[in-house]
Amino acid sequence: MPPYSSYLGAFSVFATAALGESRSSWTLGQGIEVNWQSGPQQLSIVQANKTLLATVPGQSFLSASAGKDQWAGANGNFNYTNVDLNRCQGQNVTGITHSLRGDSISGEDVSIQGYLQHCGDQSIGYSISFWVPKALPDRVAFNISVEPGHKRISPMKSCAQASFASMKNQTIPIFTREQGVGRGDQPITALENSQSWFSGGNEFTTYTAIPQYISSAARPNAVTVRYDALTVGGHVMQADTMLNAITMLTDYVGKMPTLPEWVDHGAILGIRGGQEKVERIVKEGLKQDCPVAAVWLQDWSGTHSQEAPYGNMQISRLWWNWESDSKLYPTWTEFVQDLREEYGVKTLAYINPFVANVSSKADGYRRNLFLEATKGGYMAQNSTTNGTAIISSGKGIQAGILDLTNQKTRSWFADVLRKQVWNANISGVMWDFGEYTPITPDTKLANISSDAYFYHNQYPRDWAIFQRSVAKEMPLFDEMVTFHRSARSALTAT
């Protein structure tokens, strides 16, 4: 079986060099070396005669461009057009040296310096560093930096998508967004898109934005990453089997917690319709000798009708107010406990990062979280309206998304979760959405000074980390099952 190499970020090919020394090998530690061959103009990283990475000779491995990509979005659907101006057409290498580095196992890294050339009418300096990190000494870390003057670098990434087994000759954006209905399959995609903007998606729309590239060869023919920043970093690693490669990756990004034993004791039933319906179905299942481990009740917070974006019909939507609904679940806390004690059935609920205005809720409410969050400034803001950035999610819904960069938001919503969600002794939650964070230039977040676009992919991770931090405080944490719609890999293992 061929070795599997995983690159988080990366690069492909090398160009002409102008080195001031004839040296061809630089040690990183752990028996790993960076090699430069001036004849074929090739860079490689080698360990014990195994090539971890080899660049393709004859082409620049790094480029840069200016310009601002054009993005459009609605209802969590986003689409874009690349804008590349003054793309650099050449590259040189002016030096390769050892430099001191505190987090390196050897105390040093190998740094490569040079210039990207013919970038319009200018040249742009760059540097690349390789080192073996102390915390993860079975791989090589790297960092690429380009001097200000151009906006983005093009040094490889991937995402979860279900259209192709092979990514060859494909351009794959790494951006969390609504996955779409159809995703390129016709005629359903065209029908969806005709009724609601880009709701059909395409072959690459995905909820998960995880920058990872895996190859069964240490040197793919060509892989290009277009990264919208002046710096990018990652790891290069190699394993003998896919399982070992995944293990090495999760050593870096973290592993999924072990599921509790109870999930193997029966079905987990997703039911909507209120207490009486739920209990009736549970009793019927048990009567038919069908083991039921839990029920997942998305509608615990209530429902309302909404006009569908297509056809003359109404659809049922949830009230995003995160308190039990007095009509569907009039004795919610007691009902959850009764299911546990009388039938041995646990309860899962549902949460997302939106809060909706429930002023029109027919059967009333105890708290209007939207008004509380508006007053406290706990949601993403819009600098044009000088108020809450209203999330578009169909007709008749006025809602905002929690600003997780704001510590006051976290404290306020953590209290909501303790008092109105986990207080019923539920055994888990779906933490939904995360892909809706607006990216318009007038979006304001409390502790993000850059464009909200650059924070967008981080929101799913922050949403999961925040929710888990609150769940850990709960007495039933060890039996909890939690799951998500959107995803983003962590920067370090947690």
CA atoms within 13 A on the CB side of 189: 13
The whole-angstrom separation of Cα 277 and Cα 294 is 15
pLDDT of residue 164: 54
pLDDT of residue 9: 34
Which neighbouring-strand residues pair with 320?
none
CA-CA distances (angstroms) from residue 372 to 258, 363, 377, 409?
37, 20, 9, 11
Higher pLDDT, 140 or 200: 140
Confidence grade of residue 217 (pLDDT, cut at 50, 70, 90):
low
pLDDT of residue 167: 66
pLDDT of residue 209: 84
List the single range of 125-134, 264-273, 327-336, 393-402 with lowest mean pLDDT.
393-402
- Between the two ends of the chain, the Cα-to-Cα distance in Å is 31
Longest dimension (CA), the chain: 82
Instruction: Report the Cα 481 to chain-centroid distance in Å.
Output: 20
The whole-angstrom separation of Cα 11 and Cα 45 is 12
Which amino acid, residue 340?
Answer: R
pLDDT of residue 229: 82
Q: What is the mean pLDDT of residues 319-325?
A: 97
The whole-angstrom separation of Cα 392 and Cα 378 is 18
Residues of the chain with CATH 3.20.20.80: 261-483
Q: Please, are residues 73 and 439 in contact by the beta-carbon 8 Å criterion?
A: yes
Q: What is the mean pLDDT of residues 456-483?
A: 94
Higher pLDDT, 87 or 307: 87
pLDDT of residue 208: 87
pLDDT of residue 158: 34
Q: Which tokens hold the place of 132?
A: 């073996």
Confidence grade of residue 139 (pLDDT, cut at 50, 70, 90):
very high
Q: Please, are residues 224 and 9 in contact by the beta-carbon 8 Å criterion?
A: no
Q: Please, are residues 465 and 487 in contact by the beta-carbon 8 Å criterion?
A: no
pLDDT of residue 108: 95
Average pLDDT, the chain: 85
Higher pLDDT, 79 or 395: 79
Confidence grade of residue 310 (pLDDT, cut at 50, 70, 90):
low
List the single range of 54-63, 76-85, 219-228 with lowest mean pLDDT.
219-228
Q: What is the mean pLDDT of residues 206-234?
A: 77
Higher pLDDT, 108 or 84: 108
Higher pLDDT, 13 or 322: 322
Q: What percent of the chain has pLDDT over 70?
A: 88
The whole-angstrom separation of Cα 401 and Cα 412 is 14
The whole-angstrom separation of Cα 145 and Cα 127 is 5
Nearest CA to 354 out of 75, 71, 79, 160 is that of 75
Superfamily of domain 261-483: Glycosidases (3.20.20.80)
Q: Which tokens hold the place of 105?
A: 């196992």
Strand (E) positions, 122-247? 122-131, 140-146, 152-153, 213-215, 231-239
The whole-angstrom separation of Cα 441 and Cα 384 is 10
